Amino acid sequence: MSGRVGFEAAAPKLIIEAHRMLEKYTLSKWQQYWKDQVGNWYGMFLHESQYLEPVMPDIEAMLTSSQRNVNGTAILKLRPLGFECVGVDTPDDLLKSKLGEYGEMQHGWTAEEAKGFIKVLSTPLRVYYGIHEDEER
Q: Are the C-beta atoms of residues 69 and 27 closer than 8 Å to each other?
A: yes
Domain membership of residue 117 (yes or no) is yes
Domain membership of residue 110 (yes or no) is yes
Give the model confidence (pLDDT) of 109-131 as tens digits.
788 888 898 999 898 888 888 88
Alpha helices (H) along 27-132: 29-47, 55-65, 111-131
Domain membership of residue 20 (yes or no) is no
Give the model confidence (pLDDT) of 46-102 as tens digits.
999 998 999 999 999 999 999 999 999 999 999 988 899 999 999 999 888 666 555
Domain membership of residue 111 (yes or no) is yes
Task: Choose among 93, 88, 34, 106: nearest CA to 63.
Answer: 34
Global confidence as pTM = 0.69
Domain that holds residue 117: 95-137
Number of domains in the chain: 1
